[in-house]
Amino acid sequence: MILSFSRRFAFIAIPKTAGHALRAALRPLLASNDWEQCTLFDKRYFPVQPLAAIGHGHLSFLDVQPFLLPGQWDGLTSFAVVRSPFDRFLSYARFAWRGGDAMDRDPLGTMKAALTDPLRSGHILLRPQHEFVCDEQGHIRTSLLLRHEILATEMTRLSAALGAPLAPLKAVNVSPETRGAVLDAELADLIRTRYARDFAHFGYDPDVAP
């Protein structure tokens, strides 16, 4: 997440939605008193101990809202990138098992276990997207939702909302192509069930699986 008090914006970095590319584009806008939390390539933490202790940069609206002044969030241009739950899960699979042989030995079994094994399905990278941007009543609390599928075009809209030019996005942390990262009917149904609210909130068609 990035909280820019100088530019008055908040970026919620939902996992596997080009977050690192967005961070790189946004960092030139930041002042010394702005906050960023990330841990994969750079180690940056919010100056708020309970938030820093979470230990990753995928903070949600509900995580940070208690530490802001009343009404402060609503005064920010807040945004996140959302992605088709099918494509996002396959990106997770390519990333999570890169460098190993699980996706060669048993790709479908490996991916299905990620959604059915309680010890694995709670991983932050598998968390439903709506949980990052919604309040306790399920209402979306961001000013903008950008679509991963057309993100290069969406950057024009974001630049206008922030009132500042943004550099073109560069590929960062792109998941490698993996031959076994494909769906069968059972895995598609598991994704539909797990991410039903994401499909509904963000207007993705659960019947259109890749």
By DSSP bridging, strand 35-36 and strand 144-147 are: unpaired
- How high is the pLDDT of residue 131? 98
Please, which contacts does 171-177 make with residues 24 or more away whose CB atoms are closer than 8 Å? 171/21, 172/18, 172/20, 172/21, 172/23, 172/24, 172/41, 173/20, 173/21, 173/40, 173/41, 173/95, 175/16, 175/91, 175/92, 175/94, 175/95, 175/98, 176/94, 176/98, 177/94
SS3 of 200, please? helix
In one letter, which amino acid is 82? V
Q: Is residue 144 part of a domain?
A: yes
Indicate yes or no: pTM above 0.85. yes
pLDDT at 69 over 90: yes
Is residue 176 pLDDT above 70, yes or no?
Answer: no
pLDDT digits (tens, 9 = 90+) for 79-109: 999 999 999 999 999 998 887 888 889 999 9
Note whether residue 111 is domain-resident.
yes
Containing domain of residue 95, as a range? 2-202
Arithmetic mean of pLDDT over the chain: 93
Answer yes or no: is 210 within a domain: no
Is the residue at 208 inside a domain?
no
- pLDDT band per the 50, 70, 90 thresholds, residue 61: very high
**pLDDT at residue 48 greater than cutoff 90:** yes
Whether 76 shows a pLDDT value over 70: the answer reads yes
Instruction: Classify residue 137: in a domain, yes or no.
Output: yes
Q: Is 145 a residue whose pLDDT tops 70?
A: yes
Q: Provide the pLDDT for residue 174.
A: 66
Q: State the pLDDT confidence band at 161, using cuts at 50, 70 and 90.
A: very high
What does the pLDDT read at residue 119?
83
Residue 207 resides in a domain? no
Confidence of residue 121 (pLDDT cuts 50, 70, 90): confident
- Asked whether residue 209 is domain-assigned, the answer is no
Q: What pLDDT score was predicted for residue 130?
A: 98
Give the total number of structural domains in the chain. Answer: 1
Determine the pLDDT at residue 185.
Answer: 96
Provide the pLDDT for residue 168: 87
pLDDT of residue 210: 84
- Residue 86 is assigned to a structural domain of this protein: yes
